């Protein structure tokens, strides 16, 4: 049993605490970043790799080869890395550590379309491995590129046999396809070259500590599992709210919208974790099998059901935390008559023995009042009103998994208000990750990188899962694509979305846990 005191206040000490050995990479590694000079490399990947290095988690001989165009000189790329760490890791910016980190990184010019450039990359990897004294190195190819380049890169890796001559893994960012058809095509293309065990489809939500805690909480405590079903749970709410707009991602967002950006992946994964059956063992394939069963049990909606159960929104101008903000249609690279939804609320049903009749309400959107990501499980009211009408207002028990702004899990219970009579007093029993482990939490990208380096696929999406998730959102996308431009904008920036989102629950006699009303 790990006790809190042992890890309080320090980055987990690998010598002292054997439980932490999982968090450290020992085997030599060559990490190739396609798109190494791009935005994702700058904002996420290099900062995550640097933090792993800084905290000694990357405790092995490693080389990072960044590949892409335009070609950057060593000085230019050094500057790029420094900017990245300064902007995104300023808390751990240390000249001497950064210097040795940079010594392990090299940039090479590579045109994704040119097969012979991949041969040069291959030679580079072979030479690097020779210098490291390894005959068959572990190589991770990270596709930090816009989705349209994925297939070309994969084909060129295949033509050069770069998936075979090394112990290779490939990491891909979402979106995995644009719809079911393109996802199937993309998956076919990848599987022509890589085995499924080599493919790491990353969804950063699965790297969040509270998200992983959902399964631990469910299957590590015996008191909840007997209640975890339609007999005791009234409904489930999932909210992924953001106060930011689309920023400089207008072009990406116009193509994808909220359904492809958040619902098809993050929200589907959250639904699966909350509702899946216990796996027979806690291993990647068994966990992923159970998730796929959930995706398959989600009721597929007809066009009519989508109109009844799904609410679409797009933000107009408004105010957030006292600042005036523009409407979506005025963002850079967004069409003036855009019909892209930036908000979606919906009611889903997992049609299986355990969940039949328990609605799962989800909502997600940009330019909502604040960043709030949570899963809320509301239990049924007690069967009898023993405390008579004085207690009509008794709150149902609720279990909250909060991912943002704080990572916490809490249970709402009713106690007796002191004094004569029986009046209810709501209390919260809470466990807050950040208060308890102030420096010990691994940010999600780092966690997922470690898993990939170790070859653990548990937190990555599998082919059948991705395709089943697309099947669930396709009917919604079809209706969304027909929305006339006059329908939008239909919610003010800084509000909790269109009024229909509130009505969706109201007509079932329920309300959002947080809705500002």
Which are the contacts of 159, defined by CB distance < 8 A and separation ≥ 6? 115, 118
Distance in angstroms (rounded) separating the CA atoms of residues 373 and 401: 9
In angstroms, what is the minimal distance from the CB of 363 to ligand BG6?
14
| DSSP 8-state secondary structure symbol assigned to residue 132 | H
Q: Which of 306, 357, 290, 327 is nearest to 482 (CA)?
A: 306
Which lies closer to ligand BG6 via its Cβ, residue 40 or residue 132? 40
Residues of this chain that interact with ligand BG6 (CB under 6 A) are 242, 261, 373, 404
Which lies closer to ligand BG6 via its Cβ, residue 242 or residue 290? 242
Residue 287 dihedral angles phi and psi, to the nearest 5°: -65, -45
Which lies closer to ligand BG6 via its Cβ, residue 202 or residue 504? 202
Which run of H or E residues covers position 202? Answer: strand 199-202
Q: Which of 174, 239, 479, 481 is nearest to 340 (CA)?
A: 481
Distance in angstroms (rounded) separating the CA atoms of residues 308 and 310: 6
Q: Which of 291, 282, 281, 274 is nearest to 238 (CA)?
A: 274
Which are the contacts of 149, defined by CB distance < 8 A and separation ≥ 6? 34, 35, 112, 143
Instruction: List, by residue number, the catalytic residues.
Output: 266
Which lies closer to ligand BG6 via its Cβ, residue 237 or residue 373? 373
Cα–Cα distances in angstroms (integers) from residue 251 to residues 70, 160, 248, 333, 364, in the given order: 21, 33, 8, 5, 20
In angstroms, what is the minimal distance from the CB of 146 to ligand BG6?
13
Distance in angstroms (rounded) separating the CA atoms of residues 310 and 313: 10
Which lies closer to ligand BG6 via its Cβ, residue 118 or residue 496? 496
In angstroms, what is the minimal distance from the CB of 374 to ligand BG6?
11
Cα Rg for the chain, rounded, in angstroms? Answer: 24
Q: Which token pair is 93?
A: 């910016």
In angstroms, what is the minimal distance from the CB of 150 to ligand BG6?
16
Which lies closer to ligand BG6 via its Cβ, residue 253 or residue 512? 253
Which lies closer to ligand BG6 via its Cβ, residue 261 or residue 374? 261
Query: Concatenated DSSP letters for 417-429?
Result: PSSSS--EEEEEE
Residue with tokens 């010598």: 15
In angstroms, what is the minimal distance from the CB of 384 to ligand BG6?
41
In angstroms, what is the minimal distance from the CB of 62 to ligand BG6?
26
CB neighbours (10 Å) of residue 177? 20
Which lies closer to ligand BG6 via its Cβ, residue 8 or residue 255? 255
Ramachandran assignment for 146, one of left (phi > 0), alpha (psi -120 to 50 degrees), beta (any other): beta
Query: Concatenated DSSP letters for 326-377?
Result: --GGGSTT--TT----SEEEEEEEB-STTTTT-EEEEEEESS-SS-EEEEEE
Distance in angstroms (rounded) separating the CA atoms of residues 271 and 237: 10
Cα–Cα distances in angstroms (integers) from residue 324 to residues 215, 334, 372, in the given order: 40, 19, 20
In angstroms, what is the minimal distance from the CB of 415 to ligand BG6?
33
Nearest residue to ligand BG6, scored by beta-carbon proximity = 261
In angstroms, what is the minimal distance from the CB of 365 to ligand BG6?
11
């Amino acid at each position: 049993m790990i006790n809190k005191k042992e890890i309080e206040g320090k980055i987990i000490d690998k010598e002292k605490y054997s439980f932490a050995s999982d968090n450290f990479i020992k085997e030599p590694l060559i990490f190739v970043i396609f798109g190494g000079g791009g935005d994702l490399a700058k904002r996420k990947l290099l900062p995550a790799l640097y933090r792993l290095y800084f905290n000694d988690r990357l405790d092995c001989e490693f080389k990072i080869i960044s590949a892409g165009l335009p070609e950057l000189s060593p000085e230019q790329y050094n500057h790029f890395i420094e900017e990245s760490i300064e902007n995104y890791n300023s808390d751990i910016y240390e000249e001497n550590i950064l210097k040795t980190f940079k010594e392990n990184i090299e940039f090479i010019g590579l045109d994704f379309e040119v097969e012979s450039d991949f041969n040069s990359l291959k030679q580079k990897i072979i030479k690097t491995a020779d210098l490291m004294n390894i005959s068959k190195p572990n190589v991770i190819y990270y596709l930090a590129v816009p989705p349209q380049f994925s297939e070309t890169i994969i084909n060129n890796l295949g033509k050069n046999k770069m998936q075979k001559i090394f112990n290779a893994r490939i990491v891909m960012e979402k979106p995995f396809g644009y719809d079911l058809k393109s996802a199937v095509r993309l998956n076919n293309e990848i599987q022509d070259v890589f085995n499924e065990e080599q493919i790491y489809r990353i969804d950063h939500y699965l790297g969040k500590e509270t998200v992983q805690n959902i399964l631990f909480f469910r299957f590590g405590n015996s008191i909840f599992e007997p209640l975890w079903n339609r007999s005791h749970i009234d409904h489930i709410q999932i909210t992924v709210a953001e106060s930011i707009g689309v920023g400089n991602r207008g072009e990406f967002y116009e193509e994808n919208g909220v359904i492809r950006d958040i619902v098809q992946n993050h929200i589907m994964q959250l639904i699966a974790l909350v509702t899946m059956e216990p796996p027979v063992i806690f291993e990647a394939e068994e966990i992923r099998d159970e998730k796929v069963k959930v995706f398959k049990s989600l009721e597929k909606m007809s066009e009519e059901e989508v109109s009844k159960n799904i609410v679409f929104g797009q933000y107009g101008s408004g105010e957030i935390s006292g600042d005036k903000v523009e409407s979506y249609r005025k963002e850079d690279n967004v069409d003036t008559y855009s019909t892209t939804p930036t908000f979606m609320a919906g009611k889903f049903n997992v049609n299986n023995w355990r969940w039949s009749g328990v609605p799962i309400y989800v909502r997600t959107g940009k330019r909502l009042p604040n960043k709030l990501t949570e899963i809320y499980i509301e239990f049924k009211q007690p069967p009898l009103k023993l405390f008579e009408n004085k207690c009509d207002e008794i709150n149902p028990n609720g279990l909250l998994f909060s991912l943002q702004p704080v990572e916490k899990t809490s249970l709402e219970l009713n106690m007796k208000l002191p004094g004569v009579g029986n009046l209810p007093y709501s209390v919260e029993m809470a466990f807050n990750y950040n208060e308890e482990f102030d420096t010990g939490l691994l940010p999600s990208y780092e966690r997922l990188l470690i898993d990939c380096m170790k070859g653990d696929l548990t937190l990555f999406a599998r082919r059948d899962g991705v395709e089943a998730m697309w099947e669930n959102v396709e009917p919604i996308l079809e209706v969304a694509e027909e929305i006339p431009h006059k329908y939008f904008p239909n919610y003010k920036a800084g509000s909790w979305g269109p009024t229909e989102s509130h009505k969706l629950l109201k007509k079932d006699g329920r309300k959002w846990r947080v809705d500002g009303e």
